[in-house]
Amino acid sequence: MIPTICRFLCLIALIAAFSCCQRADDIITDSSAQLTFDQDTVFFDTIFVTRSSATKWLTVYNTHDQKINISSIRLAGGDDSPYRLNIDGVKSNDQKDIEIWADDSLHIFIETTLDPSEGTTPFVVTDSILFETNGNLQDVDLVAWGQDAHFYGVGTPNGVDICDQVWTNEKPYVIYDGIVVRPDCNLTIEAGTKVHLHNGAILFVQGTLTVNGGTDSTDIVTFQGTRLEYDAYYVPDGYYQEIPAQWGWIHFLPGSVNNYINGALIQNSTYGLIVDSYDWLDPQNTNPTQLTALANLTLSNTTIRDFYTGGLWGIGSDISAVNCAVFNSSGTNFQVNWGGNYQFLNCTFANQTVRYNEHKQPIITFADHLAYGSEDVRGNENDLLKVDFINCIIYGGEDEQLSYNHYFTPEDGSDFTVNYINCLLKTEISTDTVGTSSILNPAFSDTMFVDYRARDLRLNGSSPCVNAGLSDIPISAPNGEMLSSENDLSGKARDAEWDIGAYEF
């Protein structure tokens, strides 16, 4: 009798155990079961109207030990929403009966295109994704900042050709593919204006470009890419602010004269500025008379940073620069080919390997010639090269930051002159070449800048550049105007003993 009772009790326990066990492939029906999300709000930061945004994504988790069925995933705004969804690989703004296995997840990809607004200031566009599960309704908010803009370039209302225009800070300017300031025409850009160049876009100047920025943050004229997304996880100041090669460059072509850039920030490009007297359509240089007017530029209080190939490239041109900082490059900061005249007063050229740029090239390279193609070398008829650095920093992580490349000799009529006057240099070249008035190869303990990796190139108290410059010394602009550095790149007045570099301690 006892064995029979035991067998009966064991059978009841086994049945009870099976009745209580839940299989992972069963669908949970509990009305309290909810989904979990990796974020409660998906943000899009500053999207230019009429243009598609970057793609954002949302991860939806089922943290339960059974499958869960989502009755509906949809946009609250319905067909009128400016947002678009891709739900686990299916393009749809309203999808029903989606199952997620136990302890699994799905991804939702989100894009938006915003309509133009009547205003000039950024505006916000909101919606939400609704999730209905077992009678529960959950939501994740969508928030996008929109910005109306003036659009230029191929296929845009304003086209490619620019002549006698004034751009103001009322709304940003967005350039696709490229635009051209035509010969004998002017483009003037006023203080505080933001210019965004899309992937590969180039601003060509055959006429004259004038940038009237300033040292105050509200007056700086900005040239940068069109990717403005904010990503606090990766980079607190914005994910795309440090990435180079997001757009092409600003290119001053042969015959472009009287160009003036003051108070500008040029960032995230392939090159920064190219000032070019060489006629690339006449590679054999059959028309040397073009050299009677070198392409020229006066540059002041300007920062060029986070570029890929080169910051400033002079090709048989005439450039004068005061209070400029050129840094963060995988290539060179300043490159000269085919001769020309160049003067720099209180400028900082610096390079270290950072997150998106690996520094391997010399910061400054000089050449009295220009290679065209794989073999041909074309020289300026006179091959004159004269460069003056006064109170400048040329400093980086490599042992040698200067590169000289002579092709012609004095017997050929070439004149190759580079002067360093009260500069700080990182170089292995002898003082017979670089002179004796500069500071060479400071000790590693001389930290130089406040925080290079944070892009803060102000001098710190231990920098050997403090009080080591020449004071009250001007240089001449291409138009003959005298340029001084009485105030530094930030607008701070220099004291009686000027420092070396763009910033005064």
Look at residue 351 in the predicted model and tell me its pLDDT: 92
Give the pTM: 0.85
Burial class (CB in 10 A: 0-12, 13-18, 19+), 115: exposed
* Tens of pLDDT, residues 165-184: 999 999 999 999 999 999 99
More confident residue, 229 or 228: 228
Share of the chain above pLDDT 90, in %: 69
Q: How many CB atoms lie within 10 A of CB 337?
A: 23
pLDDT band at 108 (very low <50, low <70, confident <90, very high): very high
pLDDT band at 236 (very low <50, low <70, confident <90, very high): very low
Residues 6+ apart with CB under 8 A from 86: 92, 108, 109, 110
Task: Give the per-residue SS3 of 82-119.
Answer: CEEEEECCEECCEEEEEEECCCEEEEEEEEECCCCCCC
User: Which structure tokens are listed for 388?
Assistant: 């003056």
Average pLDDT over residues 249-272: 97
**pLDDT tops 60 at residue 232:** no
Closest CA to 393 of 439, 452, 450: 439
Look at residue 446 in the predicted model and tell me its pLDDT: 64
* Tens of pLDDT, residues 343-379: 999 999 999 877 777 888 999 999 888 876 665 566 5
User: Which structure tokens are listed for 154?
Assistant: 């191929």
Look at residue 45 in the predicted model and tell me its pLDDT: 80
Give 226-234 contacts, CB < 8 A, sequence gap 24+: 226/48, 226/51, 226/174, 226/196, 226/197, 226/198, 226/199, 227/54, 228/45, 228/46, 228/47, 228/196, 229/44, 229/45, 229/46, 229/54, 230/43, 230/45
**pLDDT tops 80 at residue 418:** yes
pLDDT, the chain, mean: 88
Phi/psi at 311 (5° precision): -85, -50
Look at residue 369 in the predicted model and tell me its pLDDT: 81
* Tens of pLDDT, residues 204-213: 999 999 999 9
What is the chain's alpha carbon radius of gyration, rounded to the nearest angstrom? 31
Q: How many CB atoms lie within 10 A of CB 21?
A: 8
Closest CA to 110 of 130, 132, 133, 93: 93
SS3 426: coil
More confident residue, 256 or 1: 256
**pLDDT tops 90 at residue 474:** yes
* Window from 85-89, 287-291, 413-417, 483-487 with minimum mean pLDDT: 287-291
SS3 428: coil
Q: Are 260 and 443 in contact, with CB atoms under 8 Å apart? A: no
pLDDT band at 467 (very low <50, low <70, confident <90, very high): very high
More confident residue, 332 or 294: 332
Q: Are 354 and 453 in contact, with CB atoms under 8 Å apart? A: yes
Q: Are 382 and 343 in contact, with CB atoms under 8 Å apart? A: no
Closest CA to 423 of 388, 455, 459, 469: 469
**pLDDT tops 90 at residue 436:** no
SS3 14: helix
**pLDDT tops 70 at residue 258:** yes
pLDDT band at 15 (very low <50, low <70, confident <90, very high): very low
**pLDDT tops 70 at residue 437:** yes
Look at residue 231 in the predicted model and tell me its pLDDT: 47
Look at residue 356 in the predicted model and tell me its pLDDT: 78
Query: Which one-letter DSSP state was computed for residue 314?
Result: E
Average pLDDT over residues 102-109: 96
In words, the CATH class of domain 36-146 is mainly beta
Look at residue 100 in the predicted model and tell me its pLDDT: 97
Phi/psi at 270 (5° precision): -80, -55
Measured between alpha carbons, how far is residue 375 from residues 150, 288, 371, 412 in Å?
43, 21, 7, 20
Measured between alpha carbons, how far is residue 158 from residues 7, 175, 199, 224 in Å?
90, 10, 18, 20
Distance CA 477, CA 495 (A): 24
* Tens of pLDDT, residues 110-138: 999 998 876 787 889 999 999 999 999 99
Look at residue 19 in the predicted model and tell me its pLDDT: 43
More confident residue, 242 or 139: 139
**pLDDT tops 80 at residue 3:** no
Q: Are 263 and 212 in contact, with CB atoms under 8 Å apart? A: yes
In angstroms, how far is CA 451 from the centroid of its own chain?
19
Look at residue 17 in the predicted model and tell me its pLDDT: 46
DSSP characters for 126-160? EEEEEEEETTEEEEEEEEEEEE--EEEETTSTT-S
